[in-house]
Each structure stands twice: as structure tokens, then as C-alpha cells.
Amino acid sequence: MKGETEKATFGAGCFWGVEAAFRKVKGVVSTAVGFMGGRLESPSYRDVCTGTTGHVEVVQILYDPTRVSYQDLLQVFWRIHDPTTVNRQGPDLGTQYRSVIFYHHPDQEAQARRSREEMQQSGRFTREIVTQIEPAGVFWMAEEYHQQYFEKTGRSSCRI
């Protein structure tokens, strides 16, 4: 149906850079940064940074599937981070930076698993891909100052 959007949620390191990358994709309607996959209700950024809540820094994307496919979003996901490092992206270290695809329905799960296998077989990565594929849970939006952080601050890196 015209006007319907779908949701996708990815964890690929510092959510500021991940959000900035997905905001450039034609067909992405909106993005929000936040947390998913942990035990604490309504976590703050400070809570998640302790590495004890189990949450991942994620970007939740609303996209128009008539303009961009989930497969296209998966390709962006694989391109913008190193899916072979456990709990680390660049200088960011901790479980909150783990590589994960949170799926919202069975078709997304199937596409994510197929895509991960294809990437592993492609030879692009010399080490094993450690990206987790998990059902989406509650999305806890990060504080407002984190939303579209790079656009607000003119920064282009996750180092504080």
C-alpha cells in the first residue's frame, strides 16, 4: 500500500555514525537512536555505557519499501562497520557496541540470515562474521541530544 513504512533496527557500533550513514539512504523516512536488547527498563545513555545493562546502541529506521529494500539496508549495514569484531567497533569497546541485526518479522530474519551467510562466503571478510541476529524487543529512545548528533554538532566521528 502507498504510504506504508517498515521498521529496521541495527546495532553496528557508535549509534551516531550508524544513524548518519542510514539517513543518507534514499527511501529512509526517519531514524532514531536508542537501545535494545537489555535488561533494564528505560535505560539512559549513562546506564548503557556501563556495559552492564545488556543493551546495544542501535538505530531504528523507518523506511519506504517501495523506494529501498530491506536487502539494500542490509548492504549498508555490512558496509559501515566491521562485523568480525566481538563487542567492538574502532575505538569503541563494550557489549553495547556489538554487531547485531534485530528483526521485526520472519521475512527480515530470513533475509538477515541469508545476507550474513552470503557476506561470509563472499571472501570480503577474512575472519568469521560475529553479527548476531535477534528478534526485536523494546526500543528505548536515547536522549534528545543524541538524535541526529552529527547534524546538530557538525561532527563526523564518534570519538568524544
Q: What is the CATH number of domain 6-153?
A: 3.30.1060.10
pLDDT band at 56 (very low <50, low <70, confident <90, very high): very high
Burial track 21-33 (b if 16+ CB lie within 10 A, e otherwise): bbeebeebeebbb
Residue 137 has pLDDT above 90, yes or no: yes
Residue 38 has pLDDT above 60, yes or no: yes
The 10s digit of each residue's pLDDT in 72-116 is: 999 999 999 999 999 999 888 999 999 999 999 999 999 999 999
Mean pLDDT taken over the chain: 93
Residue 159 has pLDDT above 70, yes or no: no
Containing H/E element for 93?
A: strand 92-93
Tell me, what's the pLDDT at 160? 44
Residues 12-20, mean pLDDT to the nearest whole number:
93
Confidence (pTM): 0.93
Domain residue ranges in the chain: 6-153
pLDDT band at 1 (very low <50, low <70, confident <90, very high): very low
DSSP state of 84: T
Tell me, what's the pLDDT at 150? 77
Q: Which of 42, 71, 36 is nearest to 54 (CA)?
A: 36
Q: Which of 59, 47, 50 is nearest to 15 (CA)?
A: 59
Task: List residues with catalytic annotation.
Answer: 14
Residue 2 has pLDDT above 60, yes or no: no
